[in-house]
Structure 1
């Protein structure tokens, strides 16, 4: 299933960095935010019911009950993915096939701040559909798993400030008649992960497609390779990694949403939310030499070029 990254990275740059494959050569590469901003008005975008869902609690390093519990346990329990290339995945080139990726580096920074040891982590791989229940049931302390902040989820969990910007886009085989999130989806089997933003998008506007729902987003790529579905809708940041794994697929059309990833936590863990926001302040600091930028260059820049900075934090009163 996986292909050599050196070969596939070049193949994914053009469809991700440019909204359409006929963009004039020589135009500087853009990240997901710039591509979404430059794209024509989308036929449908996610509509949130609350104001500024990305606004989080102001940062603090004061311990509360959630932090005290983590310190007493001596471990931070983190819900992550182990199948999202470049984000959270088993790196078979590393010793023991350890977990690696942009999200994993952020988990380590949080553990380092709270417990003084970046390795004081219990990683629990959880499917997309179990991210919220895992927090509500206390199975994990945090979820760092390309999880979009939105109003619906804020009813069930708390979020940190945003640490990455992405957008929903269509992934399809090269040569497919699918041109994007539009009428070309009619009659096509389109795969989405349960509980994902993509699932909400298809429920709101399917364009006559046949939704196919799976527990884990990577299952969509497997189904596409087995010709069980005709396309995938997911975050373009995730899709870039999938295209790097399989050069027979590509991103088509333009991103049709603008959304932000955050660290998710239990709604009652306000001290932990504030502490993670403090970690993120330090993680973003330093410009091109910030821990955030070093993690981006290490993990994401080969498949997701043109991103120049993290999204700025938003805070709410209180």
Structure 2
């Protein structure tokens, strides 16, 4: 009887444990504790751009995404999970990054995403890791010298769906027409084909586009402040703390400045020293 009682106890305990594990597993991915899951898999999954030179661009030679944000994500991953921690990358655009995060397909967005009050209603952000400012990219010889020139003759300005840049243009140049494209590659093609007189987004992104497309330059300097933050789902306070702590460590070690110099040190007209931390 004692043996039977012990056997029944073991079975009951096992069933109880199974029910607990099943209940945890039934939680939607976006609601699960990211830090716990990351430590179990030794992996953090990041949503990054693959069409934005200097920040995140697909290398067609080896099908790897490379850029400032990719290197930063790798550095932060190792700070959080240790030297053997693995950073996985999922390609996102300005319009797909939020749904992918909300569905739990990625743990964090590090994709030139500006911290705004509207976005803070939907997600949480780390502190800023890159202090950008919105600017304009125009063809050499263009009469557009600053954002106010877009008001003249109802110039058409090109932007990207899901970016807050288009809304900002409406504030500074309300008479300008706006054409939104799905990504920066299409926006640049539209600028080259004359579908618009200027392309607008953050200066760091435009710097990469100017390097990649000789004959185009940044005009008028930055007319807004656009601090980039790492977006995560709500109710992840432990993950937010770990990200901010890791960012501080990367900055204090000098690694941040080394990564910054690697990607922005040779961009004409951009003083990367002003961005150092």
- TM-score by length of structure 1 reads 0.71
Match of 2:53 among 66, 76, 85: 85
Match of 1:229 among 186, 196, 201: 196
| Local SS of the residue matching 1:298 | helix
**Do 2:148 and 2:172's aligned partners in 1 also have CA atoms closer than 8 Å?**
no
Change in CA separation of 1:133 and 1:296 when aligned onto 2, cut-off 3 Å? same
Matched, 1:259 2:223: no
**Any residues of structure 2 matched to 1:1-318 within 5 Å, and which?**
65-91=33-59, 96-117=62-83, 120-186=86-152, 187-286=154-253, 290-303=254-267, 304-310=270-276
| Local SS of the residue matching 1:139 | coil
Identify which of structures 1 and 2 has the higher relative contact order when contacts are C-alpha pairs closer than 8 Å and 6+ apart.
1
Change in CA separation of 1:118 and 1:237 when aligned onto 2, cut-off 3 Å? farther
Counterpart CA distance in 2 for 1:165 and 1:259 is 6
| Local SS of the residue matching 2:112 | coil
* Cα shift at 1:83: 1.3
**Do 1:108 and 1:118's aligned partners in 2 also have CA atoms closer than 8 Å?**
no
* Cα shift at 1:241: 0.6
Counterpart CA distance in 1 for 2:244 and 2:48 is 18
**Do 1:284 and 1:310's aligned partners in 2 also have CA atoms closer than 8 Å?**
no
* Cα shift at 1:256: 0.8
Q: Deviations over 1:71-126 (max 9, x none)?
A: 2233211100011111111235xx62422111001110122123335672221111
Counterpart CA distance in 2 for 1:198 and 1:266 is 23
Of structures 1 and 2, the larger Rg is shown by 2
* Cα shift at 1:184: 3.8
**Paired positions, count:** 243
Q: Deviations over 1:231-272 (max 9, x none)?
A: 111101110110000111111113111121111111121111
Higher percent of residues as helix:
2
| Local SS of the residue matching 1:79 | strand
| Local SS of the residue matching 2:96 | helix
Counterpart CA distance in 1 for 2:271 and 2:58 is 22
* Cα shift at 1:309: 4.8
Q: Deviations over 1:33-77 (max 9, x none)?
A: xxxxxxxxxxxxxxxxxxxxxxxxxxxxxxx92200122233211
| Local SS of the residue matching 2:127 | strand
Counterpart CA distance in 1 for 2:179 and 2:110 is 25
Residue number in structure 1 paired with 2:12: none
* Cα shift at 1:226: 2.2
Moved more, 112-121 or 69-78: 112-121
Change in CA separation of 1:159 and 1:310 when aligned onto 2, cut-off 3 Å? farther
Counterpart CA distance in 2 for 1:127 and 1:166 is 18
Counterpart CA distance in 2 for 1:203 and 1:133 is 25
| Local SS of the residue matching 1:122 | strand
Stretches of structure 1 lacking an aligned partner (at least 5 in a row):
1-63, 312-318
Stretches of structure 2 lacking an aligned partner (at least 5 in a row):
1-31
> What root-mean-square deviation, in Å, do the aligned CA atoms of Structure 1 and Structure 2 show?
2.0
